[in-house]
Amino acid sequence: MNLKWLPNFLTSTRILLVPVFLYCLFADFSHGKLLALIVFILASVTDAYDGILARKYNNVSKIGTFLDPLADKFLVLSAFYGFMFLPILSTTVKLWMIILISFRDILVTVLRTLMEYKGVTMITSKLGKFKTSLQILTITFILIFLILNSYQVELPDVNAVSSTLYLLMVFTTAITFYTGLHYFYHNYKTLGNIFFNR
């Protein structure tokens, strides 16, 4: 069976799941937050497998290379922006965090796209994968907190939980921004040749 279409299908599915995730996140029905977590996990699973399947079936296409990181950023940024509009997370997710995360993710995506357009591959590192895993973990923990709150589960110390989530967001923001600097440092010569050499 020819499954070369599957990686791009999974990537496209991840993009299509974003509005479903946001709908569940802000929904008024009782299991909305739980469904939001399930949708987010499903979307994250597609992120783990589309690249693996693309390499397995030797189907690393230009459109897949472009859409995969774009889908990742779309999913993660949608979650963080969504959290910012939930009153219960007002002390956990701050605007400055979203600005730094957005700036890094959008900038790296644009630079990667420009480099690939010029036929140059961006130098990556394991830090990028760690950053993505950390972002997904942070979003998952916040969603679990929202689920417990939606079911009115009494936590031993709500303030301690909120403080822990806040520190986790600070750490995630710092790592995300640092990986942006890391990418720029290891690719600045190539970027200079692309943009300034005639």
Q: Report how far residue 10's alpha carbon sits from residue 65's, in angstroms, rounded to the nearest whole number.
A: 13
> pLDDT means per 10 residues in the chain (198 residues)?
67 90 91 96 82 64 68 91 94 95 87 75 77 94 95 88 96 94 78 65
Q: Give the model's pLDDT for residue 197.
A: 65
Residue range 6-196, CATH number: 1.20.120
| Residue type at position 73 | K
Confidence at residue 3, expressed as pLDDT on a 0 to 100 scale: 57
Q: What is the pTM of this model?
A: 0.88
Find, among 101, 94, 64, the residue nearest to 162 by Cα: 94
pLDDT score at 67: 73
CA distance 79 to 100: 15
Token couple for 87: 């009153």
Dig out the tokens for 42 from the structure: 């499903």
Q: Please give the pLDDT value at position 168.
A: 97
pLDDT of residue 172: 97
Helices 62-84 and 32-56 meet at what angle, rounded to 10? 160
How many residues would you count in the chain? 198
**Shortest CA distance to 61 belongs to which of 4, 1, 125?**
4
Residue type, position 78, single letter: S
Give residue 68's identity as a one-letter amino acid code.
D
Q: What does the pLDDT read at residue 55?
A: 66
Q: Quick one: pLDDT at residue 53?
A: 65
Domain edges within the chain: 6-196
